[in-house]
Structures are given as structure tokens and as C-alpha cells.
Chains A and B, each alone.
Chain A
Amino acid sequence: MTQVIRSPKTYDVCVIGSGAGGGMAAKILTEGGLTVALLEAGGPVNPAKDFQMFVWPYDVPHRGVGVGGKAAENFGEFLAPNGAWKIDGEPYTSAPGANFQWFRSRIVGGRTNHWGRIALRFAPVDFRSKTHDGIGEDWPISYDDLAPYYDKVESYIGVFGTKENLPGAPDGVFLPPPKPRCNELLVKKACDKLNIPCIPARLAILTKPLHGRPSCHYCAQCGRGCVTASNFSSSQVLIPPAMQTGRLTLITHAMAREILVGPDGKATGVAYIDKATLTKKSISARAVVVAASACESARLLLNSRSRVFPDGLANSSGQVGRNLTDSVGSHGSGYFPSMEKMPPHNHDGTGGMHMYIPWWKYGGRNDFPRGYHIELSGGREMPQAGMFDDLCEEVEGYGADLKATCRKRYGTTIDFAGRGEMVPNPDTYCEIDPDVVDQWGVPVLRFHFKWGEYELRQAKDMQETFKAIVDTAGGEYLTRTKTEGHYPFGIQPGGKIIHEVGTARMGADPKTSVLNRFCQAHDVKNLFVTDGAPLVTNPDKNPTLTIMALSWRASEYLLDEAKKGNI
């Protein structure tokens, strides 16, 4: 490990991370004519071999829960590889009381192999939150700056949805939506009575063939990965076209440990550990795009300390690792006796909800800022381990009665998932743990996390809404949450919703932000960050679509600058 093995050639760009942000950068940059070295900390993915499409639970001895039942906490053994809350040899730490949870994927495509495919645009108001309510910061760009890139991303990856003309949930370039499921119709009916909008969902799943990818076959298993690439993943939709240019060099099992900087303060490349050989290697590049996932990118910048940048790279503002947020998450379930009368039918559909509830109380007298949306699931889904835990808890007993109850109640539950906006707070951030390194010798992150009063009130409001909908639909609300103590109103621990963003935010002022309006570091002109880290706010719209739009925009800017000779 004493000698550094340097790459013989200098690439135009080194991109770190092959998920939504990195995959998009690799595609746009290579198609624009640049040579790219793409570093991925995990291995390659082979959809035909690795994706568990159509497998029944009883086809495998562990029935979907994995060895010792331990895959259950990581979304089951059928989840598209890979992802886990804990990775052997690659720890992270939490300050006392923080209990931050970090779901990471080490594989080509990253978390896009299994993500929920929910593809929502941020709204104009989301870029101007501070102007609107005086809290936090505004973005340095407006909705209009990003809208053309939302158009491009949707047109390329394929997103279904409908034009609704809701100011808080802008319409996009949509494929037709799938028909609603029974439980969704029931919720819609109740929402109509309550004046709550319930509209077709917007998911990155093809309901028509697009760019050589066939239409969805409605097996509801998107999370397992799709062998026909009928849903979006970076590994199947972004990396292949980049590869086809002949200008992409994909380097797997490459754990980036430091961005290298020249005496002039510009990035010169990336040092990484080749996990297979445990050797230290480096890539030379004229520009570096960091897209390792928001927290991993912050870690890399903070670990890139030099004489010029003693506090970490691009961190003269001290904001790297700060402004960390996750979505506010709280869940509820309702039992709907009327669904017992439904005849057995195929309820699978796409791998995700067909209807959802966008935030509707704009301008309302809420006791919290911002808002949340509600995701729907439940009904006659494929039975799986854990499906009857709640029912067993409720009815107890055993024998023929229990069996009859399970039969009667199967498919009669509707689950609600609230996903709300967290406002950044000074007690929530990540930093380098002074005492701990991972097995590659790279210092690890230590998390600090605290929900604010705003978020707790939002979770309370979610619970009240779920109950109102269930009551109105003639169901019985089953969820009971505590009203005080740790995690009241069912609010999930930080990180659990896997929407962690904000750790290298954009901004007009270099004193309070890390990146400029093109995701370019204020301090280092040839350094860009294009994952969730640049996000200034974390609205109630899952971040992946915005990450891709920002990455596309940043990559075009980088191409332009490269052409002008400015990089």
C-alpha cells in the first residue's frame, strides 16, 4: 500500500458514483464528447442473473427473508442488489441520541436498482421557501431554470402520470397512468368527500414502450429489479448509453478516498482503494464530479484535506455535511370491511402505487411550515413474511379461527405513508468521526440528527389525516402512536425514509453554501457535486427526479465550460 498506482491517462472527467446523479453525469458527459472514468465502490450488476423477478417465496428455502431472517430489515432477500442499513467493514457512527440510519448500495446503479420509482417534480414554491415563509434558504435557481431538465429527464427515462394543473405538484412529460387499484379507488372516494386531492401517481415505470425498452408487464416487483428494464434504473438506462459512446471507463470495486488537488487549488483527480487488490490507485482527470450519495459525497470532501484546504475540499463555508435532512415519515393502516366482499383478482399492477395524495393544504393555517404527500399501498398484494404480524397482534389466538380471520382479512388493509419536508436545523449534520476508519482505512461519518418541533407537528397531522380518510371511507384506523417521548406520532428515525440530502448545498453566497447554481464548487472550479447533496430544501417530493435534472443541467454546463477551455 506504500506505492500509489497512477492511471496512465488523464481523463476529461472522473465521476464518483454510478447511481441517479453519477449515471446521468456519465451519460451526458460521454455523449457530449468527453472521456469519463466512472468510479463505483461496488461491483457490477447483471439483471438476468441478479434480479429475482417472478420468483415465489416458496421457490427459495428462506422464503424471501434471507439467511436467519435477516434480510427482512433490508426489504427482503428479493430486493434488487444490493443495499443494507449496515455494511460489513464499512461502519458509520451516530452521536448519542441521533440514531441516524443510512441505507447504502455498493453496486453499479446504486440505489436506483431498487428505488421506489416515485418521480415528482419540485414545485416553483419549493425553490422559494424562505421568501414564502421566512425559514431556511432559497435556492439559487428557480423552477423555470430546472423545468427544461425535468422535461428532458422524464422524456428520456419514462414517467407515467396525468396533467392536473396543481401548482404544488407541477405536471411533467407523462406516459398514461395505469388503472387504479380497488383500495386506491376507496381512498379516492373518501378524499373527494374531504376535499383532499387523490390523483394518479407519477412513477418512472413505462406504460408504453420507450427508447427500445418494453412496456411494464405489471408484476408489481420493481423493487426486485426489472429484467426487461421497464422501470428506471441507472444501471440499465443511463450506464449502457454512456458505455456505447466508447468514452466511458467503468471502474468497479473502487472506493474513493480523496479528491486530489494541485498547487493551484484545482482538482487533479481522485485517489481510491481498489477493493479487490487492496491497492491504492489514482485517476487523473481535468474535472471531478462527485455523486457518491449526499452523505458519502460530504465524507469524501471532508476527507480531502490538504494544505490549501485544511477543513476539507470546497468547505470554506463550513457547510459541507451541514443542512442534512431526511423526509419526515409516519405510517398508518386502515382496515376496510367492505373490501372483504371483493372477489379475488389480480391487484399487482406496477411496482408502486397507482394513486397518491399530493400536499393540498397550501396557504392553510397549519402549525408547521411546508407539507407532506401520502403514498398508498396494501390490498391483495403477494403474501410475504410479516404480512400478518399486525393482524396476529390485534386478534391473537390460534387455530381454525386464526386461519379463517387471516383469510377474511387478507387484502382488506390500506397502508398510508406520509412523506414530509424537514427543515434543516443546526443539530442535524454529518462530520468525520475522529476515531473510526472503515476497513479500507477511510475515516467514517458520524451523524447528528434531531427532529424539530415542525417535523413532529407534521407527523401528528399525518396521523390525523390518515385517520380522517379511513373513518370517512367506513374503515377502522388500526394504528396507535404515542403522543410524546422519543419518536412521537410514529415519526421514523432520521435516515429511515432514505431521502437524505443537503450536505453540500447550492447557493448564491459562497459564505453560506458549497456549490453555485450549476452544482459547481465555489472554491474549486473543476469540481461538481451532482447527487442529493446540492439540494437546498428537501420538499415533500422524493428527490431522485430532481437529482437527475440537476445532474443533467450541471453536466451540460460542465461540457460548455470544457469547450470554452474554462475547466
Chain B
Amino acid sequence: MKGISRRDVLRNLAIGAAGGSVLQMIPAQAAELAHETIQKEKASSPAGKYSPKHFPPHQYQTLVLLCGAILPKDEVSGGAIEAGAPEFIDLLTSENEEYQAVLGGGLMWLDNFCTDRYEHSFVECTPGQQKEVLEFIAYRKNAKTDPTLSQGIAFFAKLRNMTCDGFYTSKIGIEDLKYIGNMALAEFPGCPPLPSE
């Protein structure tokens, strides 16, 4: 591996700290370099198409569709799919038996519900039918009128949280929120003036 890695930067930084040297400038440069290095390392690694580690193709397809419906692409930013939320959820699920039960079972529940109602699995339903299902399971109050929805609602709540996790920990999601930080500053600027009191 040629060039300078994040580890090298931080190691030098730590040695500098021990020696009590030139450090007033270095943390900022180190931050920049650390971020750039990680980006370069990622860009140079063979990306390719993600192969799901846990969900079989049909379930993964359903998961992708649901993630996209929960946080879609809009005029401001890409959506949960572009942000890699399905990959993130699949990875965690492959390592967590509780998620396997909740999400795997939930996806089955969804298809059972759809076949009972529309004689198709969720992915095969028309956009109108899919929207109708989502309107059922996206709100807790619906379980009051139809208690058979409650497990689907619980599943969707969990998936909604995980989709937000996947989206808002991505570069797309963090930029969507206009978070500014994770950098070295010489001084903390404090609160900017409030627009209007």
C-alpha cells in the first residue's frame, strides 16, 4: 500500500502529542487527510453489485422496495436505496437473530397479507395496491379498527427506524440534513445569530 494511511496520520499525530510539538495546526490537517484517505481507499476497492448476505432474492427485493418507499428520492437528495439502507439492513440482519425473526417474519406477514387481499406478493402488487398496504401498516391507530394489522404495524415501525438509521448515517443523508462538523477547529465559533427573535 503506497501513500499515507489514516493510521499513519494518527500515529504521527500521537507521537507529536507525546513530544508536545507543532500540534496547533496538525489536527485540522489530520482530519482532512483522514477523510480523504478513507474516501480514496473506498473508491479504489472493488465495489460491484451488493449480494445480500441474509435475505433471499424475493425478500431482498421487497426490502429494497420498502426502504425506497419509506425514504424516497426527492428534489433535495437521493433516497434510502441510493444511500445503501437495504445493504445496511441486510448486513445487520445476517448477524442478528432477533432482526431475522422480526424482519424476516415481517416480510412474510406482508406477503401473506398481500396475497390474501390482492392475490399477489407485495412486489407484484400495483403501485396503488402497495400504497394502500403502506397506508394500513404505517400508522398505529389502524390497529384499533383492525387488530389483525398490529404485527404488520410493529414490523413496519422497526423497518422504518432501521431505514432512517441506514439513510441518515450515509453521506447522502448527512448532507440532506446539512450537518456541518466532524472536523478540527482552532476555536469553537458558538451559536450564530438567530435569524429573528
Contact = CB atoms under 8 A, between A and B. Distances in A.
Interface stretch (B110-118, B120-128, B158-166): B158-166
B28 to A, nearest CB: 7
Given A68-B95, A214-B24, A217-B28, A398 B195 contact: no
Given A48-B11, A69-B92, A181 B34 contact: no
Interface stretch (A17-25, A267-275, A342-350): A342-350
Residue from the set A53, A219, A398 with the largest chain B CB neighbour count within 10 Å: A398
B133 to A, nearest CB: 11
B168 A406 contact: yes
A64 interface: yes
A403 B166 contact: no
Contacts of B79: 403
Of the four ranges (under 10, 10 to 19, 20 to 34, 35 or more), the interface on chain A belongs to 35 or more
A400 B72 contact: yes
Contacts of A345: 180, 189, 191-192
A220 B179 CA distance: 13
A380 B178 CA distance: 9
B188 A349 contact: yes
B184 A217 contact: yes
Interface string B181-196: 1111111111110111
A219 B17 contact: no
A383 B30 CA distance: 22
Interface stretch (A55-63, A194-202, A276-284): A55-63
Interface string B16-38: 01111001100110110011001
Nearest to B165: A385
A389 interface: yes
B188 A69 contact: no
Contacts, number: 221
Interface string B126-162: 0000000010001110000000000000001100110
Contact of A65 (B92, B188, B190): B92
B191 A180 contact: yes
A346 B189 contact: yes
A219 to B, nearest CB: 6
Given A214-B23, A219-B182, A400-B72, A63 B88 contact: yes
Given A182-B191, A185-B191, A67 B95 contact: yes
A307 interface: no
Contact of A70 (B7, B96, B183, B194): B96
Contacts of B140: 396
Contacts of B74: 400, 403-404
A402 interface: yes
Contact of A48 (B10, B96, B189): B10
27 contacts: A48-B14, A49-B10, A49-B11, A58-B169, A69-B99, A70-B95, A182-B194, A217-B184, A219-B31, A219-B182, A228-B27, A229-B17, A342-B194, A344-B178, A345-B180, A345-B191, A346-B183, A346-B185, A346-B189, A348-B181, A383-B168, A388-B164, A389-B164, A396-B157, A399-B72, A403-B79, A404-B74
Interface of B: 7, 10-11, 13-14, 17-20, 23-24, 27-28, 30-31, 34-35, 38, 42, 69-72, 74, 76, 79, 84, 88, 91-92, 95-96, 99, 134, 138-140, 156-157, 160-161, 164-166, 168-171, 173-174, 176-192, 194-196
Given A70-B96, A217-B185, A398-B70, 15 more contacts: A53-B34, A54-B35, A65-B165, A179-B189, A214-B23, A217-B27, A341-B194, A346-B189, A380-B181, A383-B177, A388-B161, A389-B164, A400-B74, A404-B74, A406-B164
